[in-house]
């Protein structure tokens, strides 16, 4: 029961925070586009902004979700954080595949997300001096 609770809470944290950040991004993008009407060169850097800010923030959220999952699970941290990483990042990518193809960027973001989640669990283990196999 504790395993399911850890996975559910870790996944819920990630999904809720990502959805809130997407909402904030929409507000920022609307303001940015309004500003870009007056300054056309801003259109060129909008894609760069998305990758330079969006992906690191996403990986940090996955890291925190992995840390929370490890804290609740306490045992078999690698398995739990891996499950949370695959469930949440896969759950975000799979619905988009109905309308688009999987790109190399999508694969890299998926790997970074799962790695971030596992790294959060690893960090929790280092902080609490728990072995990987426990």
Grouping H, G, I as helix, E, B as strand and the rest as coil, residue 63 is helix
Q: pLDDT truncated to tens, each residue of the chain (134 aa)?
A: 788 999 999 999 999 999 999 898 888 878 777 777 777 776 777 677 777 888 899 999 999 999 999 999 888 888 999 999 999 998 888 888 888 888 888 889 899 999 999 999 999 988 887 665 55
pTM for this model (two decimals): 0.83
Angle, in degrees to the nearest 10, between helices 104-128 and 55-73: 40
> What are the residue ranges spanned by the domains of the chain?
2-128
- The answer for residues whose C-beta is within 8 angstroms of residue 48's C-beta and 6 or more apart is none
């Amino acid at each position: 029961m504790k395993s399911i609770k850890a996975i559910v809470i870790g996944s819920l944290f990630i999904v809720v925070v990502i959805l809130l950040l997407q909402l904030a991004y929409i507000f920022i993008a609307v303001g940015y586009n309004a500003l870009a009407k007056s300054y056309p060169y801003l259109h060129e850097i909008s894609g760069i902004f998305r990758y330079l800010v969006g992906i690191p923030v996403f990986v940090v959220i996955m890291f925190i979700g992995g840390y929370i999952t490890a804290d609740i699970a306490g045992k078999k941290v690698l398995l739990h954080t891996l499950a949370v990483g695959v469930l949440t990042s896969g759950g975000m990518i799979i619905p988009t595949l109905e309308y688009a193809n999987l790109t190399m960027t999508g694969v890299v973001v998926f790997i970074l997300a799962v790695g971030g989640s596992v790294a959060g669990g690893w960090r929790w283990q280092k902080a609490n001096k728990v072995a990987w196999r426990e």
